Amino acid sequence: MKYIPVIGLEIHSQLKTNTKIFCGYANKFGAEQNTQTCPVCAGFPGVLPVLNEKAVEYCIKAGLALNCEIAEFSKFDRKNYFYPDLPKAYQISQYDKPICGKGYVEVIVNGEKKKIGITRIHLEEDAGKLVHSSDAFTMATNSFADYNRCGTPLIEIVSEPDMHSADDAYAYLQAVKHILEYIEVSDCNMEEGSLRCDANVSVMPEGSKVFGTKTELKNMNSFKAVKAAIEAEIKRQINELENGGKIIQETRLWDEASGQTRPMRSKEEAQDYKYFPESDLVELEISKDYVEKLKNELPELPYSRMLRFINDYSLPEVDAEVLVAEKAVADYFENAVKIFNQPKKIANWIMTELMKLLNEKKVAITNCKISPKQLAEMLQMIEKNVINGKIAKQIFPEMFETGKSAELIVKEKGLIQITDTAEIEKIVEETLAQNPEIVNQIKSGKDKAKGFLIGQIMKTTRGKANPNIVNEILAKKIENI
């Protein structure tokens, strides 16, 4: 039987406000344990929360960027559970009146356009972090609580069960990440935990109108892990059903090492949390004017920017997708195009040579020493036959390291292209004279041997000969032998 997977994601994203959501303490990642807490976020009795307006602003911006309805009235609720990472024994969250309602995200999965629905986005506080360690010598196991993270503003973005493959989920998660980065409300770093994702997965027989029982997957801390976990879980569920088994509604943990999911706990229900209104905070009233003002502050978002790149610059969809993923890369591209209006050539250089160096040297494009203008000018030099593409590739790493312009490096190193036909002709003739046996091979039909001669010529000229002229002259000379 064929099964259709059904997937819904719950994405948690920490907001990069200066201070925490209900107190004035710094919202900072990576500080020494338990140094970033105050009586409010550490949950001392008798303290009162004060809502950080910036967190509300960021939540609304996220909602607008994800095409959500923004509520006029919203409120906070207490979600009660007892666990050492939560000093108050309740989390201030939102239950029935979240700030953002229904929305959607547009994605492209393997070339196909899809629209993934969003159910809601609510604002809440993060809990602390438990660090588990075990002592190999005494075999004692210890858990330590770090409360620095308590009170970090968090949004939870709940999707509709609109995804049907691990690829869909991956594309959706990427799209949400890029959008949150564009609007600068979150760092979205999965390794540091500022972006976290739980995946709900079920399968149903093809043609069925009823969803199967779902499991919730946790503990994936990279995009790759999310994809792998969903794939493994779909396989496990199909296998279970094919063998006459049943799917139990439960929370399962992704185990990176074994590449499998395993049961963690039975799934809790809303009533287990005994939600009730947070009486220490007043209801939120969100005016239309305020929402309008925030809407006007949003930048152009990745999806529309991608469509515009395809349209305005005649770029292939894949190129546009890669370029818009990071706002700074897209800006870099557009700045270069303003100077040298050959979008595809600029896109190629950014996506290959530049990205390779940025990755290798772990440099952010915003700190790149090659300015968009310098890249554009280098490509202009190729266009004008001052240098050839090979020389450009050769000097590019030096431009990257030193921030020198191509023009300067070329001058310093004497790398200006040889376009003088007489000079090239002379070198071609010499090369042919030195390699009679290769010439014979070419003459007897082994055209590939030409490559060797071209290599020799380029070596003699230190790569400076104009390759088109070399090819032309070489062909002519061989013909006349």
Minimum CB distance to ligand ADP smaller for 158 or for 439:
158
Residue 202 within binding range of ligand ADP, rule CB under 6 A: yes
Q: Which stretch binds ligand ADP (CB under 6 A): 4-12, 145-153, 429-437, 442-450?
A: 4-12
State both tokens at 254: 């992704």
Residue 7 within binding range of ligand ADP, rule CB under 6 A: yes
What is the closest distance, in whole angstroms, from the C-beta atom of residue 166 to ligand ADP in the complex? 13
- 478 residue type, one letter: I
What is the closest distance, in whole angstroms, from the C-beta atom of residue 229 to ligand ADP in the complex? 14
Q: What's the residue count for the chain? A: 481
Helix or strand (DSSP H, E) at 276: strand 276-277
What is the closest distance, in whole angstroms, from the C-beta atom of residue 80 to ligand ADP in the complex? 16
Q: Residue 225: which residues within 8 A CB-CB, separation 6 or more?
A: 254, 256
- 205 residue type, one letter: P
With CB under 6 A as the contact rule, the residue among 15, 105, 197, 201 that binds ligand ADP is 201
Region 280-319 residues binding ligand ADP, contact defined as CB under 6 A: none
Q: Which stretch binds ligand ADP (CB under 6 A): 130-138, 197-205, 364-372, 447-455?
A: 197-205
Region 117-176 residues binding ligand ADP, contact defined as CB under 6 A: 158-161
With CB under 6 A as the contact rule, the residue among 8, 63, 98, 302 that binds ligand ADP is 8
Minimum CB distance to ligand ADP smaller for 164 or for 390:
164
Minimum CB distance to ligand ADP smaller for 201 or for 365:
201
Residue pair 291/70 in contact (Cβ under 8 Å)? The answer is yes
| H helical segments located in 326-420 | 327-339, 343-349, 355-361, 372-383, 389-402, 406-413
Please give the full DSSP string across 124-142, using - where no structure is assigned.
EE---EEEEEE-TTT--EE
Residue 68 within binding range of ligand ADP, rule CB under 6 A: no
Residue pair 101/298 in contact (Cβ under 8 Å)? The answer is no
**Residue 270 CB burial class (10 angstroms; 0-12, 13-18, ≥19):** exposed
307-340: b (≥16 Cβ within 10 Å) or e: ebbbeebebeeebbbbbbbbbebbebbbebbebb
Q: Which stretch binds ligand ADP (CB under 6 A): 53-61, 141-149, 194-202, 295-303?
A: 194-202
Residue 115 within binding range of ligand ADP, rule CB under 6 A: no
- 89 residue type, one letter: A
With CB under 6 A as the contact rule, the residue among 214, 345, 404, 464 that binds ligand ADP is 214
Residue 200 within binding range of ligand ADP, rule CB under 6 A: yes
Site map 10..39 versus ligand ADP, x via CB under 6 A: x-----------------------------
C-alpha to C-alpha distance for 187 and 294, rounded to whole angstroms? 19
State both tokens at 279: 């009486």
Q: Which stretch binds ligand ADP (CB under 6 A): 132-140, 196-204, 345-353, 469-477?
A: 196-204
C-alpha to C-alpha distance for 286 and 100, rounded to whole angstroms? 11
What is the closest distance, in whole angstroms, from the C-beta atom of residue 162 to ligand ADP in the complex? 7
With CB under 6 A as the contact rule, the residue among 6, 59, 157, 376 that binds ligand ADP is 6
- The residue nearest ligand ADP at its CB is 8
What is the closest distance, in whole angstroms, from the C-beta atom of residue 125 to ligand ADP in the complex? 19
Could you tell me the CA-to-CA distances from 250 to 186, 261, 309, 354, 402 in Å, in that order? 30, 11, 44, 46, 55
Residue 57 half-sphere exposure toward CB, CA atoms < 13 A? 15
Minimum CB distance to ligand ADP smaller for 7 or for 386:
7
Binding site for ligand ADP (CB under 6 A): 6-10, 158-161, 200-202, 211, 214
